[in-house]
């Protein structure tokens, strides 16, 4: 028997809290996909063309818009990881990224096992699964497909708008900086 959505949502939120995540429900209609955001990946990110989860391999904005039409509910996810001094894109250590990605994937799996087969979670920044991605070493197929997910930005999703809709302060694209913490942001789609 299908669990009523209110019960499912409470269980999902409890699991998120247990995993150290903040979670906020939003409407899938609130997800804004804009072509210019993907350009920021192409012109400014060192992972462009080097990761199978990054452009040009990740879904393009028109495909993402079409995909979002089949979803009604989304949950914003936030994990606060310890920060290191340095550039914004390298402030989070590998262990912080690994913990966040694992937590996001666990929520996706929980939803899938509770009769939400279309559950899909996004990654953060670039996939932390392999030091050298198959896209870069020329081997072709992803070595860790169960972990690999495109980032919100790589699909053209406007993270700043999502943060506003979730009631979280927008101080960066997928990273919110606090004194010694960096918040890693993801999105879980459900239908």
**How do the domains of the chain map onto residue ranges?**
5-190
> Whole-angstrom Cα distance, residue 177 to residue 55?
25
Note the residue count of the chain. 191
- Upper half-sphere CA count for residue 190 (Cβ side, 13 Å): 22
Could you tell me which residues are beta bridge partners of residue 76?
24, 187
> Whole-angstrom Cα distance, residue 100 to residue 78?
8
- Confidence (pTM): 0.87
Q: Which whole number is the average pLDDT over 98-111? A: 94
Tokens of 148: 């690999």
Mean pLDDT (the chain) is: 86
Asked if pLDDT for residue 84 goes beyond 70, the answer is no
∠ CA 12-142-182 to the nearest 5 degrees? 50
Asked if pLDDT for residue 174 goes beyond 50, the answer is no
**Residue 85 burial (10 A CB sphere; 0-12, 13-18, 19+):** exposed
Q: What pLDDT band is residue 74 in, cutting at 50, 70 and 90? A: very high
Q: What is the pLDDT of residues 110-154, one digit of tens each?
A: 999 998 999 999 998 878 888 899 988 888 789 998 889 999 999
Long-range CB contacts (within 8 A, 24+) of 5-14: 8/111, 8/114, 8/116, 11/110, 11/114, 12/75, 12/107, 12/110, 12/111
Residues 6+ apart with CB under 8 A from 15: 106, 107, 110
């Amino acid at each position: 028997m299908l669990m009523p959505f209110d019960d499912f949502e409470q269980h999902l939120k409890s699991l998120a809290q247990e995993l150290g995540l903040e979670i906020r429900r939003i409407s899938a209609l609130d997800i804004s996909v804009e072509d210019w955001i993907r350009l920021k990946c192409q012109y400014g990110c060192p992972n462009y063309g080097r990761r199978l989860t990054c452009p040009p391999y990740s879904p393009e904005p028109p495909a993402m818009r079409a995909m979002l039409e089949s979803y009604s509910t989304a949950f914003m996810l936030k994990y606060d990881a310890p920060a290191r001094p340095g550039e914004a894109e390298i402030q989070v250590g590998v262990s912080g990224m690994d913990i966040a990605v694992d937590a996001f994937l666990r929520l996706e799996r929980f939803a899938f096992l509770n009769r939400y087969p279309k559950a899909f979670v996004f990654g953060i920044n670039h996939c932390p699964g392999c030091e050298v991605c198959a896209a870069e070493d020329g081997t072709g197929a992803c070595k860790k497909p169960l972990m690999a997910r495109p980032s919100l930005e790589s699909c053209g999703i406007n993270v700043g708008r999502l943060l506003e809709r979730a009631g979280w302060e927008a101080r960066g694209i997928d990273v919110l900086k606090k004194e010694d913490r960096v918040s890693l942001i993801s999105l879980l789609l459900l239908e």
